[in-house]
Every structure is written in C-alpha cells, then in structure tokens.
Amino acid sequence: MKESMERTAYLIGKDGVDRLAGMHVAVFGIGGVGGYVAEALGRAGVGMLTLVDKDVVSESNINRQIIATYDTIGQKKTEVMAQRLYSVHPEMKVECRDCFFLPESADEFDFSCYDYVVDAVDTVTAKLELVKRAKEAGVPIISCMGTGNKLDASRFEIADISKTSVCPLAKVMRRELKKRGITHLKVLFSKEEPIKNPECSVPGSISFVPPVAGLLIAGEVIKDLLREEKDNGKEKVLVPRE
C-alpha cells in the first residue's frame, strides 16, 4: 500500500481502501461544493471520477472554489480539477465531461456505470433529471440543496428530502419530485435562514460554507460506498454508522 493511503487504512482497513479504489463516482457540478467533493473523494482513494461541468474558472469563483486562483482563470473547471486530482492520486482515472447536464443531453450519460452520483448543480431542472436518471438506474445519489446566502456552516444536515425544512430549494425539490412519483432522496441542506441582500439578486457566498457542504457530502458518499452486503443478506459495515 502506498504511504499516502496508510492513515486512511488505519480507519477503514486495507479492505476499505481496496474497495474505494474500485469505485466510480460521478460529480455533476465542479463549483464551490462539487470541487471539494471531488477533492475529498480523490484524497480518500476513490479509483475513478467523472467530472461534469461546462464552466471555466472566473475571478468571482476565487472566494470559495478550490480550483479557482488567478492562475487558473479562463481554464475549464473539469480540466483544472482533473490535474489537481492527478497530483494527489496519480493512479486514479478521471473522465472530464465539459457540458451542462440537461434533460436533452441526459441520454449521453450511462448512469449504470456509476457506483454513486453527486448532484452539485445549480438548476432545479438539471437536479430533477439527475435524480430521475439515477433512480431509474438504481444508483445511489445525494443532492446538494442551497448553500448560497449562508454564513453558519454548522447548520448543514444530511437527511431524506421528506425531512427537510427552512431551505427554499429543498421545498421546491420536494414538490417537484412528488409530482414525478419520487418521495425519497438523500440531500444535504441547511436549517439556517438565508441572509437576504435586497440590493443584489446574485446569491452571496463565503470561503468556508460551500467547502463544508462539499466535504460533508463526500464523507457521506465514502461511508455509503464502504457498506456492502454479505451473501447471507446481513450487512457488513466497514465504517460505523452514526
């Protein structure tokens, strides 16, 4: 085992490290949340990531996105993220999909090849389609609700969509998913009331809130991936449940 994975193996064992090395996770949206999801998954030893985003790095991203520096402005987010991942986990495989995920482009993705899907995109339309496609393929998915206009990162929780409150985006998603016959979805959301700025329609953000959301999501993905079924139907848990 490489020295870079020894500390991880102390927690989850060599079997856990080997298991993560065989996993393929798709991260849709490589922004303030998704970039930290990808970072944590790569450092944990996930063997393959598919990164989906059409944007390039802009100066306005620098306050919160792990890939955003003055040196990377104008570069494709997926490619910058991939190079960063290779620098910490050279053996991993990274697929860059430089596009926006939309209902009309959904057929270009084979969800059955993913072991897990992370929804870190901004638009409701894309989120709904991601959930629909993942559910149809039988692939676990976690969806990030609103992280903008928030200042208290300690208010984030991971729960089923039916248990969410306060978050305006979660309310919309609950309603729209119900229309589509989907009543259960694992999400990250915040119970903090959004901080409103009447002078600006663009959501505010700060350096420490979206990253916390991304790291919490990555942790949930990793723990889910480390759970497997024994032949006798009893669950083997390689990390303890909370």
- Domain with residue 221: its CATH number is 3.40.50.720
Q: Which pLDDT tens digit goes with each residue over 164-220?
A: 999 999 999 999 999 999 999 999 999 999 998 888 889 999 999 999 999 999 999
> What are the φ/ψ torsions at residue 3 (nearest 5 degrees)?
-60, -30
Residue ranges in 77-158 assigned as alpha helix (H)? 77-88, 124-137
Q: Are strands 48-52 and 93-97 parallel, antiparallel or unpaired?
A: parallel
The beta-strand segments (E) located in the chain are: 24-28, 48-52, 93-97, 116-119, 141-144, 156-160, 186-190, 227-229, 235-237
* Residue 239 lies inside a defined structural domain of this protein: no
Confidence of residue 1 (pLDDT cuts 50, 70, 90): confident
* Residue 170 lies inside a defined structural domain of this protein: yes
**Is the pLDDT at 149 greater than 50, yes or no?**
yes
Confidence of residue 89 (pLDDT cuts 50, 70, 90): very high
Mean pLDDT score, 137-149: 97
* Residue 3 lies inside a defined structural domain of this protein: no
pLDDT of residue 228: 63
Confidence of residue 233 (pLDDT cuts 50, 70, 90): very low
* Residue 45 lies inside a defined structural domain of this protein: yes
Q: Which pLDDT tens digit goes with each residue over 161-176?
A: 999 999 999 999 999 9
The domain in which residue 157 lies consists of: 9-229
Number of domains making up the chain: 1
Task: Work out the percent of the chain whose per-residue pLDDT is above 70.
Answer: 94
* Residue 124 lies inside a defined structural domain of this protein: yes
pLDDT of residue 196: 87
* Residue 236 lies inside a defined structural domain of this protein: no
The whole-model pTM stands at 0.94
